[in-house]
Amino acid sequence: MDIVNGVLSGSRLALSRAITAVENEYDEAVEIMQKLYLHTGRAYVIGITGPPGAGKSTLTDKIAKDFRRQGKKVGIVAVDPTSPYSGGAILGDRIRMNELTEDEGVFIRSMATRGSLGGLSQKTAEVVKLMDAFGADVIIIETVGVGQSEVDIVKTADTTMVVLVPGLGDDIQAIKAGILEIGDIFTINKADREGIDRLNIEIEMMLELNPKEVNWRPPINRTIASKGEGIKDLMETIANHQQFLNESGELEVRRVERLKTELLAMINDQIGRYVVNKLTKSGEFDTMVNSIQQRERDPYSVVKSILASVLR
């Protein structure tokens, strides 16, 4: 089977194989991505992030089902070790999620987060493009919102939703601060818990302190995802943001920015690999490491001479 044509004609098996090729960096991955790239840019991408236990997977489930009712083809990328899609979370979650996995209009893929040598955000972006070329109308990226890598992952999205819950305590403040800046939409989930008003005020205050440059004030929704409460309003908020992105030209602006970031990452990645491969093959790398370790040379001048030797 030709993977490229398979993906373009909507074959789930072909998409699955293409993702595996990208994840494992098989030789054919670059060719696949290269050919499919010209068929991307159509899907609307939503990033869902927040601390562990915020109910991101349950929200993803509800949102995906709502898009399905609208007749839309949905892709889900779970970059979240606590996600039931990735084998985490409790059994009940995983059973509930099976309804989605049995729907032909939904394609779910979880990404390995452990043991990854960086590059996870780049791979996530490529999986999103594959699902886009496959014909997904909406792609949801679910990622646990802590740490720089996770923030990088969420930057792949057109709309970023930050999910918080009341009562996680002061310790979680830092996590909130780190992801507050990237939220286009906020959702306070488990809204029947105590402390919801306080959390709402906290978010409002942080938004006042860090206003987004563009003409969009991030709305704060309240949901109880497990009971389906607040989902209708949330879907409206999502639709509003999508409309805003389109009408303001912000969608184009963001996508160009994102493309620049991706391009830089690709240049860095590939040029670095080339140089290291070259040095490793010739045995130079080990010699250099050795002389630095013995404090005969310093790493900064070594890198300088490496650059001089490989660059035009």
Query: Can you tell me the distance from the alpha carbon of 213 to that of 220, in angstroms, rounded to the nearest whole number?
Result: 18
SS3 136: coil
| Cβ at position 305, least distance to its own copies in Å | 11
Q: Does 205 bind its own copies (CB under 8 A)?
A: no
**Cα three-residue angle 151-154-160, rounded to 5 degrees:** 115
Q: Which of 95, 271, 277, 282 binds its own copies (CB under 8 A)?
A: 271
Q: Which of 9, 98, 173, 243 binds its own copies (CB under 8 A)?
A: 173
Q: Which of 2, 256, 277, 287 binds its own copies (CB under 8 A)?
A: 256
Q: Binding marks (x or -) toward its own copies, 52..71, rule CB under 8 A?
A: xx------------------
Q: Which of 264, 277, 282, 305 binds its own copies (CB under 8 A)?
A: 264
Q: Does 171 bind its own copies (CB under 8 A)?
A: yes
| Cβ at position 145, least distance to its own copies in Å | 9
Q: Which of 132, 142, 150, 158 binds its own copies (CB under 8 A)?
A: 150
Sequence-distant (6+) residues with CB within 8 A of 62 are 225, 228, 231
Q: Which of 204, 267, 282, 305 binds its own copies (CB under 8 A)?
A: 267
- C-beta of 27 vs 104, nearer to its own copies: 27
Query: Can you tell me the distance from the alpha carbon of 45 to that of 28, in angstroms, rounded to the nearest whole number?
Result: 26
Query: CA 252, 181, 198, 224 torsion: positive or negative?
Result: positive
Sequence-distant (6+) residues with CB within 8 A of 146 are 51, 52, 175, 178, 179
Residues in a beta bridge with 221: 187
Residues in a beta bridge with 49: 143, 162
Residues in a beta bridge with 106: 74
What separation, in Å, do the N-terminal and C-terminal C-alpha atoms of the chain show?
42
Q: Does 303 bind its own copies (CB under 8 A)?
A: yes
- C-beta of 224 vs 275, nearer to its own copies: 275
Which region among 65-73, 100-108, 163-171, 224-232 touches its own copies (by CB under 8 A)? 163-171
Q: Does 281 bind its own copies (CB under 8 A)?
A: no
